Amino acid sequence: MYVLDYHQQVKRINQMIPLRKNDKTFEVYYHDPQSGELWKSFFPYGKKKSNSPKLLRPEPLPSNLEHQLELCLNSGNLADAEGLGIEYSLSPEKWEYLLNLLDENRKNYTRAGFFTFLNKLGVKDPDKTIEALHIDFNSASISREKLITLRKKAKKLWFKKLIGL
């Protein structure tokens, strides 16, 4: 689903037809003539973070967040869990809902996909993530206290999955 490796991205993009390019958001949409799928290439952090990863994935993602987690964390390809984690690291307001879904369904996900997603989500070290994204707490939709609570919850989830609870 997600393609993170630069060489694989170039190889895949060379097989597709560019449809639309947005220089402000760094998004490019492609059509794959072999499968008929629409693909999106983008830098999720844009100009907010230097050396940010470029993601390539089919568009659109399933609208149901639970289904997205199921697909990406169980795909067997850690790039899927990593890509989804990177995308949602930009939305701290969704972290609580994501952690609740992970807690409810943690036994349904592979251990490697689960840990990779949590690592890339940035909730285990929210100060570093918020700093990298240049988010101002005065205008942010989430408070510092809430981030501390979410960090504790993420660490508990990590431990529960580690010992198999």
Write out pLDDT tens, residues 56-105: 999 888 888 899 999 899 988 899 999 999 888 888 888 899 999 999 99
Q: Which residues are paired to 27 by β-bridges? A: 22, 42
Question: Of the candidates 60, 85, 106, which is a domain's last residue?
Answer: 60
Residues 160, 80 share a domain: yes
Per-residue pLDDT band at 162 (split at 50, 70, 90): confident
Residues 77, 51 share a domain: no
Residues 81, 130 share a domain: yes
Q: Is the pTM of this model over 0.75?
A: yes
The Cα angle at residue 78 between residues 153 and 108, in degrees rounded to 5? 55
Mean pLDDT to the nearest integer, 4-28: 90
* Cis? peptide before 60, omega within 30° of 0: yes
Range of the domain at 12: 1-60
Please state the domain count of the chain. Answer: 2
Residues 48, 71 share a domain: no
Residues 73, 54 share a domain: no
Residues 132, 120 share a domain: yes
Residues 150, 107 share a domain: yes
Residues 24, 70 share a domain: no
Q: Taking a C-beta distance cutoff of 8 angstroms, is the pair 30, 38 a contact?
A: yes
The whole-angstrom separation of Cα 106 and Cα 89 is: 19
The whole-angstrom separation of Cα 60 and Cα 160 is: 32
Question: Of the candidates 29, 60, 91, which is a domain's last residue?
Answer: 60
pLDDT computed for residue 13 by the predictor:
92
Calculate the average pLDDT of the chain.
86
Residues 117, 155 share a domain: yes
Q: Taking a C-beta distance cutoff of 8 angstroms, is the pair 1, 75 a contact?
A: yes
Residues 70, 56 share a domain: no
Q: Taking a C-beta distance cutoff of 8 angstroms, is the pair 131, 100 a contact?
A: no
The whole-angstrom separation of Cα 120 and Cα 116 is: 6
Residue type, 156: K
Range of 39-48, 57-66, 105-114 with top mean pLDDT: 105-114
Residues 74, 47 share a domain: no
Residue 136 has pLDDT above 70, yes or no: no
Which tokens in the block code for residue 117?
Answer: 């997603």
Residues 111, 140 share a domain: yes
